[in-house]
Amino acid sequence: MAPFWRNLAGMTDPAPPARLHLRLFLGDGAMLGPGKAELLERIRDTGSISAAGRDMGMSYKRAWMLVEEMNAAFREPLVTRSRGGQGGGGARVTEAGLTMIRLYRSIEETTLREGAEDIRALSAMLRDIAAQK
Amino acid sequence: MAPFWRNLAGMTDPAPPARLHLRLFLGDGAMLGPGKAELLERIRDTGSISAAGRDMGMSYKRAWMLVEEMNAAFREPLVTRSRGGQGGGGARVTEAGLTMIRLYRSIEETTLREGAEDIRALSAMLRDIAAQK
């Protein structure tokens, strides 16, 4: 299962489900795509920027840069860091961060649900899928 | 106007409109994104793979490779080439190609229309937009 992708739920035909990458350009250059959304979800689940980045195959520097970029773009920080404590300080996804994740995944789900007919029509035009029928 | 992006029609607030990159992974590895869709539209409009690629800042080789990739993925070719004639042979987008463009743009429009509420909510969380209010 590719972590960046979302499956098209409820697809009943034997064709492999469609997957989606959604990249939103909001306002003056703020960009929100599958990488940032997944990073935030993994920070939420692990409580650690380095662990989240490592799980996605990115360096700590890269993961931290993406978090800084998100925190700078949003009014409220999406991730906060606590220093000290167990493991030398962890990271926490804020309420704003959880809202961002929810909205991003909701837009993806809307696309797959409301665009299902068009996506099926596109899939039906493909060579491999035609060969399975 | 960034050619890869689609504006959110009907947005009435003063915030800059959201733009979208949609990348679909269909079936066994066939990928359809904003680059291929725009290339096809430009071939349709110019009748030339090289002119279409040039308009997008890509080499003829790259444009041709993308066309080959699309033609290989779909049951019917999306682009056909005619040799000879004026200009030494042009390119034509087939009915299948026009259908592909229509479906891809339709999925984009569906996302922006049906996801508008979520997109607005995300935009409202951004620092720059908040500063304009």
Residues with Cβ within 8 Å of residue B110, at least 6 apart in sequence? A110, A111, A114, A115, A118
Report d(CA B49, CA B81) in Å as an integer. 9
Using the beta-carbon criterion (under 8 Å), do B20 and A19 form an inter-chain contact?
Answer: no
Contacting residues of B for A123, CB less than 8 Å apart:
26-27
Buried b / exposed e over B30-60, threshold 16 CB at 10 Å, is bbbbbbbbbbbbbbbebbbbbbbbebbebee
Tens digit of pLDDT for each residue in B76-85? 999 999 876 5
Tens digit of pLDDT for each residue in B96-116? 999 999 999 999 999 999 999
A-to-B residue pairs, Cβ atoms closer than 8 angstroms = 145
Beta bridge partners of A31: A25
Structural tokens at position B83: 């040799």
Contacting residues of B for A26, CB less than 8 Å apart:
18, 119, 122-123, 126, 129
Are the C-beta atoms of residues B7 and B19 closer than 8 Å to each other?
Answer: yes
Quote ipTM for the complex. 0.81
Contacting residues of A for B30, CB less than 8 Å apart:
126, 128
| Region at B108 (left for phi over 0; alpha for psi -120 to 50; beta for the rest) | alpha
A5 touches chain B (CB under 8 A): yes
Please give the model's pTM, rounded to 2 decimal places.
Answer: 0.81
The answer to whether residue B15 scores a pLDDT higher than 80 is no
